[in-house]
């Protein structure tokens, strides 16, 4: 099992291509990107990893977790793999980690794609996470995971893939990182705020928002529209739009990386 800097990682694709690091959302799993690996790895060396505290990575987290810690993990992973610069595609938690990286070490970043991210936590986003935390604390992990698709996918997609979602549940239960870890990660995301630092962001950033996202409203990305060097596009497909519509997602990402 490949591990670097305490992080489990997977190395896919065209080894001579520009490195492309995939950073997932709250769940933190490299496997989240399975629908996109074939397209993205055709031209790039794709590295997907499990966030610290989740999956097959080091499960130990400090008492206080910040999004900047997630950015530090990306840097440590790059250092361990001898990667000087890379593209980063981050979904939600991974997207804001990419933004923190862009502010802290822009010289390590080539291009950044932020998927359903934010500059400051949106009131609807906070309301959703308060409800999810209540489920986790008072109804348990099973209820938390059963409710998760409601926030990730459009209703029609859930209906059409209900059997697959049910089949995934035992694996999600087995790999769940624990209530304390999930609380720390959610608190880090809720506390992330760079609304006053947007002018410091480097160029070559794509902000991709799903207009039907039930967790992070597309409007949470609108602050980036006025930032020089940042391009914003919208698509449909819910919070996990790379899973529900991988063809559109992959095309948008690859077009940006080639531009």
Residue 20 tokens read as 């492309």
Residue 109 tokens read as 């970043």
CB atoms within 10 A of CB 74: 29
Distance separating alpha carbons of residues 121 and 104, to the nearest angstrom: 20
The mean of the pLDDT values for the chain is: 97
pLDDT in tens, 2-23: 999 999 999 999 788 889 999 9
**Mind listing the domains of the chain with CATH numbers?**
3-258 (3.40.50.1820)
Residue 177: pLDDT over 90 = yes
Give this prediction's pTM.
0.97
pLDDT in tens, 131-175: 999 999 999 999 999 999 999 999 999 999 999 999 999 999 999
pLDDT in tens, 69-92: 999 999 999 999 999 999 999 999
Distance separating alpha carbons of residues 141 and 148, to the nearest angstrom: 11
Q: Residue 15's pLDDT is what?
A: 80
Q: Are 19 and 83 in contact (CB under 8 A)?
A: yes
Residue 259: pLDDT over 90 = no
pLDDT in tens, 24-74: 999 999 999 999 999 999 999 999 999 999 999 999 999 999 999 999 999
Q: Residue 1's pLDDT is what?
A: 80
Nearest to 23 by CA among 252, 245, 242: 242
pLDDT in tens, 90-138: 999 999 999 999 999 999 999 999 999 999 999 999 999 999 999 999 9
Distance separating alpha carbons of residues 62 and 27, to the nearest angstrom: 18
Query: What is the largest distance, in Å, between two alpha-carbon atoms of the chain?
Result: 49
């Amino acid at each position: 099992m490949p591990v670097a800097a305490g992080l489990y990682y997977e190395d896919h694709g065209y080894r001579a291509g520009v490195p492309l690091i995939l950073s997932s959302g709250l769940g933190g799993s490299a496997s989240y990107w399975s629908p996109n690996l074939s397209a993205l790895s055709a031209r790039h060396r794709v590295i997907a990893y499990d966030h610290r505290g989740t999956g097959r990575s080091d499960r130990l987290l400090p008492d206080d977790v910040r999004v900047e810690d997630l950015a530090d993990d990306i840097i440590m992973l790059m250092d361990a793999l001898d990667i000087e610069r890379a593209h980063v595609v981050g979904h939600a938690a991974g997207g804001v980690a990419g933004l923190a990286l862009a502010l802290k070490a822009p010289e390590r970043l080539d291009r950044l794609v932020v998927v359903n991210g934010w500059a400051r936590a949106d009131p609807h986003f906070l309301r959703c996470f308060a409800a999810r935390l209540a489920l986790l604390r008072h109804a348990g992990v099973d209820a938390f995971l059963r409710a998760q698709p409601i926030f990730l996918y459009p209703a029609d997609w859930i209906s059409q893939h209900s059997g697959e979602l049910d089949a995934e549940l035992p694996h999600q239960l087995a790999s769940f990182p624990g209530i304390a870890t999930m609380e720390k990660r959610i608190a880090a995301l809720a506390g992330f705020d760079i609304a006053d630092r947007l002018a410091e962001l480097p160029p070559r950033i794509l902000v991709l928002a799903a207009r039907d996202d039930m967790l992070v409203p597309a409007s949470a990305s609108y602050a980036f529209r006025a930032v020089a060097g940042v391009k914003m596009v919208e698509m449909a497909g819910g919070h996990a739009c790379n899973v529900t519509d991988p063809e559109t997602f992959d095309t948008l990402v690859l077009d940006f990386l080639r531009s």
